[in-house]
Amino acid sequence: MSTGLKTSNDLNSEKVTTPSENSYVKTLKGFFEEVTLLTKFTGRFFREVIRPPYEVSEFLKQSYLIGYKSLPLIAITGFIMGLVLTIQSRPTLAQFGAESWLPAMVAVSIIREIGPVITALIFAGKVGSGIGAELASMKVTEQIDAMEVSGINPFKYLVVTRIMSATLMLPILVIIGDVISLYGAYIGVNLKGDVSFDLFFVKIFEKLVFTDVFPAFIKTFFFGFVVALLGCYKGYNSSKGTEGVAEAANSSVVYASLMIFILDMVAVQVTSLFT
Amino acid sequence: MGTIVANISHLKKSFGDNVVLKDISFKINKGENLAIFGKSGSGKSVLIKCLVGLIEPDDGKVELLDSTVSDLNNDELNALRKKIGFLFQSAALYDSMTVRENLEFPLRGQKSKPQKEVDELVTEALKNVGLEEAIDKMPSELSGGMRKRVGLARTLILKPEIILYDEPTTGLDPITSKEISQLILDIQKKYNTASIIITHDIECARIAANRIIMIKDGTSVAEGTYEELAESKDEWVRSFFK
């Protein structure tokens, strides 16, 4: 007859699952599900991008909204970035008597790393969140369903155009941002010195090489792509009403920023193989 | 008996453990207005979304205009959708576009249409709903009733053979509700379209529908004209007509 008491052997043979273990499993499962869905979403983008009809007018409209409308923000932050970096770097270089290296050092920093990464992060904050919120709001108010029942492919119209625009616009914004940043640096150099415009740029181009410029330019296409991809993914698959809109906008920026750093790390590793 | 334009048989849909549609079957003839009537949460909106492939049913068959929806590829489904109008509960107007652009949007696939013809279609659709003056307004400038009318105009622009109305009078005052219900009836008479009207507004069903199907817990429990159902022996059915 069973006494109802459990022996130590009974206890050892039972699988003990604590609540925290359950939540780890759930989180891990959720992560892999999300990765699978994102991979499918990306795959659909590459299938749809080559299939006609092409939404040219919407692509141009988005390029204007994503590119041209972001320009003032990128220009202001770029200028401040160049100015501040120069002012902050001067005392350190002055300690080693290397102030003449200031233009080249600032230029290499801006063009290789700070320009693309900071511009991409600002772009993620402005464009990524905008795309996430807009598409989520369209989803919640059934506008995406309305497109679908009109026989229009909403993925092609909304997602493909935005991803293509962001992928092509960010590199242009980075180039403009870098140039304005270098102008900010020129102003910064002249706050406590007297360097002509020509000399400043001669100093910059003495040190800049192809491997500084080209990889930095190429990685910006990837930055633009992930910002728009994650914004579209989060917005297009949003649910839970207005809460979902906020969540889509927020998570678009958070994941895009994280991906920019991860991609940057990969880009540095790849570049170092060739230098 | 007229031509059957929609034949829905044994439709079933669940979300996890929640069974929304248990077994729904019905047919609709050309030029007929059918109201699907039931309480909120009875699965009416899920049913209408299953019809146009926005939600995939677990089981059953949806035949619209001689095409089985589940057998169609994407291009065929899009071609079929152009023959079916859908008025959403919220009207689902595109916020970033004017009324004109909203109405022009479904015509995008028909690039060959000259702009003059497109303008005429837009004007005609807005005239049908009595909102010609709103052509250059943004959706945010419109009232609830006006939004529904513009949504209906956008639905009409492709001259659909079947129109699906998802709660067309929800959120509107009684007078505007009556106007929208009358508009549904006018459109049926003018274009001889078949319509499925999802509603929990018995007055809308009375004005606009030739036949009513009552849904309870995912199954159809009664079918007939307004007058027949008002005198039903089933107390639950009768309770809506008091």
State the complex-level ipTM: 0.87
Query: Closest residue of A to B159, CA-based?
Result: A150
Sheet with strand B4-15: strands edge to edge:
B67-68, B59-64, B4-15, B18-29, B219-224, B211-216, B33-38, B194-199, B162-166, B84-87
Q: Give the 3-state secondary structure of residue B212.
A: strand
Q: What is the pLDDT of residue A1?
A: 41
What is the Cα–Cα distance from B138 to B99, expressed in whole angstroms? 6
Do residues B155 and B195 lie in contact, with contact meaning Cβ atoms separated by under 8 Å? no
Do residues B226 and B238 lie in contact, with contact meaning Cβ atoms separated by under 8 Å? no
Q: Tokens at residue B90, please?
A: 């919220």
pLDDT in tens, A109-156: 999 999 999 999 999 999 999 999 999 999 999 999 999 998 889 999
Phi-psi region of A180 (alpha: psi -120 to 50; beta: other; left: phi over 0): alpha
Q: What is the pLDDT of residue A172?
A: 97
B9-21 average pLDDT score: 90
Do residues B194 and B5 lie in contact, with contact meaning Cβ atoms separated by under 8 Å? yes
B184-190 contacts: CB < 8 A, separation 24 or more? B184/B33, B184/B208, B185/B33, B186/B128, B187/B128, B187/B152, B187/B156, B187/B163, B188/B31, B188/B33, B190/B128
Q: Tokens 């005392």 map to which residue?
A: A91
Q: Which amino acid is at A82?
A: G
Q: What is the pLDDT of residue A2?
A: 43
Chain B residues 46-85 with a CB less than 8 Å from chain A: 49, 52, 54, 74, 78-79, 81-82, 84
What is the Cα–Cα distance from A245 to A131, expressed in whole angstroms? 11
Helices of type H across A2-156: 8-13, 19-50, 56-66, 71-95, 102-109, 115-123, 129-140, 143-149, 154
Using an 8 Å CB-CB cutoff, list chain A residues near B52.
149
Query: Closest residue of A to B51, CA-based?
Result: A149
Q: Tokens at residue A86, please?
A: 């120069």
- Residue among A118, A112, A131 nearest A225 (CA): A131
Q: What is the pLDDT of residue A115?
A: 95
Do residues A214 and A114 lie in contact, with contact meaning Cβ atoms separated by under 8 Å? no
- E strands, B30-153, in order: 33-38, 59-64, 67-68, 84-87
Q: Tokens 């500084």 map to which residue?
A: A212
Q: What is the pLDDT of residue B173?
A: 85
Chain A residues 110-139 with a CB less than 8 Å from chain B: 137-138
* pTM of structure: 0.86
B161-184 average pLDDT score: 89
Considering only CB atoms, B81 lies closest to which of A141, A143, A149, namely A149
pLDDT at B1 over 70: no
Question: Range with the lowest mean pLDDT among A2-6, A48-52, B101-105?
Answer: A2-6
Do residues A205 and A127 lie in contact, with contact meaning Cβ atoms separated by under 8 Å? no
pLDDT in tens, A192-240: 888 898 999 898 888 888 888 999 999 999 999 999 999 999 999 998 7
CB contact under 8 A, A143 and B92: yes
Peptide bond into A103 cis (omega under 30): no
pLDDT at B53 over 70: yes
pLDDT in tens, B98-115: 999 999 998 876 667 788
Instruction: With cut-offs at 50, 70 and 90, classify the pLDDT of residue B2.
Output: low
pLDDT in tens, A62-87: 999 999 999 999 999 999 999 999 99
What is the Cα–Cα distance from A66 to A126, expressed in whole angstroms? 9
Using an 8 Å CB-CB cutoff, list chain A residues near B109.
151-152
Q: What number of other Cβ atoms are within 10 A of residue B23's Cβ?
A: 14
Instruction: With cut-offs at 50, 70 and 90, classify the pLDDT of residue A5.
Output: very low
Q: What is the pLDDT of residue A242?
A: 84
Q: Write the DSSP symbol of residue A7.
A: P
Query: A164: buried, middle or exposed (CB in 10 Å: 19+, 13-18, 0-12)?
Result: buried
pLDDT at A20 over 80: no
Q: How far is CA A228 from CA A45, B59, B114, in A?
A: 11, 37, 34
Best probe of the B interface among A56, A143, A162, by most B CBs < 10 A, is A143
B52 Cβ contact partners less than 8 Å away, ≥ 6 residues apart? A149, B69, B81, B84, B86, B164
What is the Cα–Cα distance from A195 to B105, expressed in whole angstroms? 57
What H or E segment, with its residue span, contains residue B118?
A: helix B115-128
What is the Cα–Cα distance from B204 to B207, expressed in whole angstroms? 5
pLDDT in tens, B175-232: 888 988 998 998 899 889 999 999 988 999 999 999 999 998 888 888 999 999 888 8
Query: Closest residue of A to B104, CA-based?
Result: A150
What is the Cα–Cα distance from A129 to A221, expressed in whole angstroms? 18
pLDDT in tens, B57-104: 999 999 999 899 989 988 889 889 989 999 998 889 999 999 999 999
CB contact under 8 A, B95 and A143: yes
Q: What is the pLDDT of residue B115?
A: 84
Q: Which residues of B171-208 are buried (b: 16+ CB within 10 A; e: fewer)?
A: ebeeebbbbbbebbbebbeebebbbbbbbbbbebbbbb
Using an 8 Å CB-CB cutoff, list chain A residues near B165.
none
pLDDT at A90 over 60: yes
Best probe of the A interface among B86, B87, B154, by most A CBs < 10 A, is B86
